[in-house]
Structure 1
Amino acid sequence: MGLTSNNVVMVSVVASVLLFGATIWVWPRLARRGVAPVLGRIGMLLVTQVSLFAALGLFANQSFGFYGSWADLFGTETTPGVVVNHTPGSTRVQVTDIRTVNVPGGSAPAAAGRIEKVTIKGPLSGLASPAYVYLPPEYFQPEYARRDFPATLVLTGYPGTTEALINGLKYPQNAHKLVKDGRMQPMVLVMLRPTVAPPRDTECVDVPRGPQTETFFTKDVPTAVAGHYRVGEHARNWGVIGNSTGGYCALKMAMRHPEAFSAAAGLSPSYKAPIDATTGDLFGGSKQLERENNLMWRLDHKPAPPVSLLVSSSEHGEKNYKGTVKFIEKVKELNGRGEPTRISSIILKTGGHNFNTWKREVPAALEWLGGRLSNR
């Protein structure tokens, strides 16, 4: 059973409840003096506490997507990104599994859509990464057979798991409902984690002499997906959205590569890349490269790109609130001077840096993206 599966969480919860009950039941028999009863009481308390913390930890991990597998949890997943040599006839998108969507009529693609697990290979970056592609019901309906769809790249935070975008934030289910309610056009979702060179957090940077993550997401992924699925291949057809680290990546990639994405939504984003033990030296010692990946600096020193941006925060509970207000004001100043960058926001009264907050923002952010992408 996988680390994030419902069965593992349920087994841990049942085990902790049974051990708690056993402790209550056995405790009177251990309420005697002597070494053996004392060790018995200590053992029962220790086992019960460990089982309780394990159940809470597994539930939190499933909800927030800290670790995707047992290997990830125990630190044995250290395999770097894969370098792919492409030969004639090879494909950049390889489908490895097909899943139903957890909505009414989920077994019928024309009613519920479909989720395909794929491996995306990038010839320019030399990277390859697993992903999930959500295809809306319209993709399988005859009247849409000759139509291209807009697409959105959906990114987790760091370390994150791609499954959390489906099971936690429920992007496919939200997209299905928005289209059904007439609030959004049908859209293909390409769901990945930004950690394409695990365990390193590259912050979607082309690291000098390291992983070319920005190239992978801005060039390889759109080209590969457009070559395999019926989606547009122009910036007007593509958006990008992410939470936390993924939110920073989304905003940065649209601002730095308006030829790739025309709209970007950052949910609880940061506005510059951190430098810590998980990132290492992202910029090869180059202060200029570091500045160019700082979104505030770009607004002050680089030409404003023709993109639409959405940012989110909370007045109470989010550390990025002041930075978000500052970012919004800077873009509004550019608007006042006739610059083409556009800004929108979702500001909650309260909400922490967690999945519960992002669940409240995803539907509105998807609707916003759908209104800014073209299917032509």
Structure 2
Amino acid sequence: MSPTGWPMMVTAIVLAVAAPIGTYLLWNRIRGPRPVRAATRLSMIGVSQVMAILLCGVIVNNYYGLYASWDDLLGDTGSPGVIIHENTVAAGGPITGSNLTDGTAQGGRGQAVPVVPRSRPPGPVQDFKKYGDDALVTSFTGPKTGLGGSNDVIAWLPPQYNDPAYANTAFPVVLLFPGYPGTPQTWFGNMAGQKELGTLIQQHSATPFVLVAVNISPIKGVNTDCTDIPGGPQVATFITDDIRNMLERTFRVTTDRTGWGMMGYSEGGLCAGKLLVQYPQLFSAAVQMSGDVRPGGYVSKYGSAFADQNSTLWVLQNHKPNPPVSLLAAASAEDDHGSVLAAAESLQQVAPDMVDVLKKDHGSHNTAVWKQWLPQAYGWLSQHLEQVRPQS
């Protein structure tokens, strides 16, 4: 029996109901010395509580699709999977993509905008404080949108950042997005994204990125799918304008689109893919892990046309980003959270020249799976963003 599905749900309900009823019926029928009777009754109460907790766990697991199998629950999610590029399994390293820097781009609101070299924006440097052993954190409010919060932007600088040999090097940036509800702290906690990248850099398997985890839900309880809501929170602008300008002012990072990428899981994966195709003049590559291709809930309230404009699939199908972008859509066949594998494959079907699929057979919608993808994701991004070289 799978940990998800109706058989497990029905079994958990029966056990949760039967345990307290059995305790009630057997309470006064227990025989033996007083210590034995007390221990037996306490055990019966404990079993009833365990059955209630089991039912709650099954309900939560069914709703969120966290664990698709018992192996998944025990942390065995199988192999990381393979990257499929234009219907061909990529052997060895990731496929190298093109980095175009001229032409016109289709902006997030549909207008054609010229792609020109960006100057470092003027303004104050943001004050970051130490976070944990190796990261920096700040509480930031965007001057354009008024959005932000406490400790909602966390940055990690690669070792090369403070190396004198790289004193004049502008580093590429990867924005990291959590799910919903979620916090940027997860990327530097359970996901340990900075530790994985640090190891890969030491092994010369990834380029030194500046990692920046961002809160994608600055309005508590409101999931905008990183969208500029008419008359409401402008979350896309918060990320692409407020956050980006602040980082360019504060850190020694590149201002060119070829050095800016994004990565997110679950709802954050949707954001990474969506913002990439909406703002190709600002970003050139992204990784979406277990992400949907079309926003739901809050965004859908504003009509199907508005949802289309904020759908990664619809934009790729109807307004191909120019200059081209590169997207890695990672999905597991066991993840039934919105049929993410079918969604990832649909992206590749409409834009095989822009979308690679990282396909995995086992594992569901959880951090164990997303962490397992990090080496391939960082390696792929290293092939699709600017390479870091000493410039001193």
RMSD: 3.0
Pick closer, same or farther for the CA change 1:47–1:296 going to 2, 3 Å.
closer
What SS class does the counterpart of residue 208 from structure 1 fall into?
Answer: coil
Which residue, out of 329, 332, 335, partners 1:317? Answer: 335
User: How far apart, in 1, do the equivalents of 2:375 and 2:33 lie?
Assistant: 53
Structure 1: 5+ residue stretches without partners: 1-26, 57-63, 65-88, 101-113, 336-341
Paired position in structure 2 for 1:177: 199
Change (3 A) 1:291 1:207: same
Look up the match of 2:307. 290
Larger CA deviation: 162-171 vs 227-236? 162-171
- 5 Å-filtered alignment, 1:159-238, equals 159-238=181-260
Q: Which amino acid aligns with 1:355?
A: T
> Is 1:348 paired with 2:381?
no
CA distance in 1, matches of 2:387, 2:145: 27
Closer/same/farther in 2, CA of residues 147 and 287 from structure 1, 3 Å limit: same
Identity %: 26
- Mapped partners of 2:335, 2:33: distance in 1: 45
Determine the C-alpha separation between the residues in 1 that align with 2:272 and 2:250: 23
Q: Write the distance in 2 (CA, Å) between the matches of 1:48 and 1:30.
A: 22
**Counterpart for residue 132 of structure 2:** 99
AA aligned opposite 2:177: L
Deviation at residue 181 of structure 1 after TM alignment: 0.5
The TM-score, its normalising length taken from structure 2, stands at 0.67
- Contact 1:312/1:345, CA 8 A, preserved across alignment: yes
Any idea what the Cα deviations from partners look like across 1:190-230, whole Å, max 9, x if unmatched? 01232121121111011112111000111111111010011
TM-score normalised according to structure 1 size: 0.70
Deviations 1:207-260 (A, max 9, x none): 112111000111111111010011012211110000111111000001000111
Hey, what does 1:5 align to over in structure 2?
none
Whether the 8 Å CA contact 1:92–1:122 is kept in 2: the answer is: no
Counterpart residue number, 2:91 = none
Q: Which residue of 2 aligns with 1:74?
A: none
> Closer, same or farther in 2 for the Cα pair 1:351/1:47, shift >3 Å?
closer
3-state SS of 2:248 partner: helix
Distance in 1 (alpha carbons) for counterparts of 2:304 and 2:189: 39
Secondary structure of 2:364 counterpart: coil
The answer for unaligned runs of 5 or more in structure 2 is 1-31, 59-65, 67-121
Q: Equivalents in 2 of 1:321, 1:28: separation in Å?
A: 59
Provide the residue aligned with 1:77 in structure 2.
Answer: none
Contact kept in structure 1, 2:347 and 2:355, CA below 8 Å: no
**Alpha-carbon displacement from aligned partner over 1:314-371 (angstroms, at most 9, x marks no partner):** 2333421122212111112xx4xxxxxx222210121211111111111110111122
1:330 to 331, 350, 355: 350
Equivalenced residue count is 291
- Alpha-carbon distance between aligned partners in 1 of 2:135 and 2:307, rounded to the nearest angstrom: 37
Conserved? CA contact 1:317–1:351, under 8 Å = yes
Runs ≥4 in structure 1, deviation > 6 angstroms? 36-39, 46-56
